[in-house]
Amino acid sequence: MQTEAFSELFPLFKGANPETMEWLISVAVKHEYPADRVVLMEDAWGNAVYFVVSGWVKVRRRLSTDQSVTLAVLGRGDFFGEMAILDESPRSNDVVALSPVRLISISAQRFIQTLFKDPQLHHRMLQLMVKRLRQTNLRYQLRHRPPAVKLANTLVELAENYGQNTEKTSEIFNIPDQDLADVTDITRDETTKIMEKLQAKGWIDRDLEHQLIHLLNQKHLIHLASQ
SS3 217: coil
Q: How many domains does the chain have?
A: 2
81 located within any domain: yes
Residue 77's nearest CA partner among 1, 183, 184 is: 1
| Chosen domain end from 104, 126, 148 | 126
97 located within any domain: yes
| Chosen domain end from 126, 154, 184 | 126
175 located within any domain: yes
pLDDT tens-digit series, residues 73-131: 999 999 988 776 666 665 668 899 999 999 999 988 888 888 888 888 888 888 888 88
- Write down the pLDDT at residue 88: 61
Q: What's the CATH number where 22 sits?
A: 2.60.120.10
pLDDT tens-digit series, residues 135-181: 888 888 888 899 999 999 999 999 999 999 887 789 999 999 999 99
Q: What's the CATH number where 173 sits?
A: 1.10.10.10
Is the same domain home to 111 and 27? Answer: yes
Q: How far apart are CA 174 and CA 172, in angstroms?
A: 6
**pTM of this prediction?**
0.89
Q: Give the strand pairing for 94-97 and 164-165.
A: unpaired
Asked if 172 and 159 count as a contact pair (C-beta separation under 8 A), the reply is yes
**Cβ neighbours for 181, distance < 8 A, ≥ 6 positions apart:** 187, 188, 190, 191
Residue 105 sits in which domain range? Answer: 3-126
